[in-house]
Structure 1
Amino acid sequence: MHSISMLRGSVFGLLLAVLLYLGTKVVYWLVWRQHLHADHFPGGKFALLSSAIMGVVVHECLHFVAARIVTRGMPVSVSMGFRLSRLLPYVKIAGVMSVWQYRVVAATPFIVLGLLPAAAALLAASPAVSLFSALMMALAASDLLVLIAMRSLSSHDLVEDDPERIGCKRA
């Protein structure tokens, strides 16, 4: 199986999110000997929460853009929508793609919103950017779980989105 159930994704995603968040805080403390807390974020907790909400939207937009780029010229439909029942945006990819393409799509938000800002925050000693990157990495936890579930697949295997679960299935 190269996908995970919604329940498993929620439980393990939350655990991984906490580890990613705490890991970022520990690394920042080891480098700068400064604890991170919401007061470091301009505007405080409300601004941090607002950034998280906007981060979710940007996260899905990055999935969308990455999917459009890696599937250009292929018979694949990429769409974006909003699930009212969960109050979350989503990206739907209808069609077959290679595992490397799926991995790029899954990893893009984690890299762009999490790892790159975390590195910049460490270089610039920016607690606000570090908090934002920690939050964005935590929000990408389910994407990382999908990448872990896909580890046994070859880069050239063909997959498609699993409509029932988080992740993909063999085409």
Structure 2
Amino acid sequence: MPRLHRESWAKRVSLYPNGSQRKLKSSTYKNLMENKRDLSISMARANVIVLFVSIPVFIAQFAIFILSQEVENVGLTFNPVLLMLAVILGIATHEILHGLGWMVFGHKPLSAVKFGFQWKTLTPYAHLQEPVEVSIYRIGTFMPGFILGIFPYVLSLLLNDGNLFWFSLFHTAGASGDWLVLWLIRKVKKGTLVEDHPTHAGCYVLES
């Protein structure tokens, strides 16, 4: 981000979930940027951790569904090809939800979020290019896993729906990287500004 753009942003506001605003002096913002703490890990390492985290989560969700439903409900009644297309569409939606969470709750413009695909690790991403209060960052990080994973999973239990179960299972596991990021920033205090890392899973914590 160009220096002048950062200075201008600093003189304007930082936004909080309740809509309140706080002006930052350029000198204060500069000090925050110089003292930022890295709470991130490489995408390659994150993918390895996610693999091991996803397995027990998968087993737990599968076991709960099996124990609470009739065995035949685990099967697919939906066209497998269409279900796969829904899953692929869900992957794109996952990243869009990250961006929407940050834009809506952080009052950020569309230009503040960059969407892309990291070919080296085969990982799609949504990158917030402006600092934001940590609570907003957490909301945007949590949204996809909840909307595409946890919520559909609860519905699958209530509706005895095997199709919804498999869809939710995939997206809950797919959000393991987000759960990892939330774990990395678990000790960051409310009100602290963070800056999404451009290439790693996690963020910088801006400390005065």
TM-score band, normalised by the shorter chain?
0.7 to 0.9
**Equivalences, count:** 168
Aligned sequence identity (%): 27
| Paired letter, 1:145 | L
Deviation at 1:84, TM superposition (A): 5.1
Equivalent in the alignment of 1:8: 45
Deviation at 1:33, TM superposition (A): 4.1
Deviation at 1:68, TM superposition (A): 0.9
Equivalent in the alignment of 2:54: 17
Cα separation, 2, equivalents of 1:84 and 1:5: 14
1:63-78 equivalences in 2 (<5 Å) = 63-72=98-107, 77-78=112-113
Q: Does 2:86 align with 1:59?
A: no
Q: Does 2:169 align with 1:165?
A: no
Unaligned ranges ≥5, structure 2:
1-37
Query: Contact between 1:25 and 1:36, CA under 8 Å: does it hold in 2?
Result: no
Secondary structure of the 1:40 match is coil
TM-score by length of 2: 0.73
Query: Contact between 1:4 and 1:149, CA under 8 Å: does it hold in 2?
Result: no
CA spacing shift, 1:142–1:133, aligned 2, 3 Å: same
Q: Does 2:143 align with 1:108?
A: yes
Equivalent in the alignment of 2:154: 119
Secondary structure of the 2:188 match is coil
Unaligned ranges ≥5, structure 1:
none
Flag the structure with larger Rg.
2
Deviation at 1:142, TM superposition (A): 0.4
Deviation at 1:52, TM superposition (A): 2.4
Cα separation, 2, equivalents of 1:68 and 1:101: 9
- For residue 156 of structure 1, the aligned residue among 191, 194, 198 is 191
Deviations 1:7-57 (A, max 9, x none): 2201111111222222211110111142776x415113x344333221110
- For residue 71 of structure 2, the aligned residue among 34, 37, 53 is 34
Cα separation, 1, equivalents of 2:49 and 2:158: 31
Equivalent in the alignment of 1:135: 170
Deviation at 1:119, TM superposition (A): 0.7
Larger RCO (CA under 8 A, 6+ residues apart): 1
Secondary structure of the 1:2 match is strand
Deviations 1:85-130 (A, max 9, x none): 5555421211111111110010000110011101111001111101
Cα separation, 2, equivalents of 1:94 and 1:160: 7
TM-score by length of 1: 0.87
Secondary structure of the 2:71 match is coil
C-alpha RMSD over aligned residues: 2.2
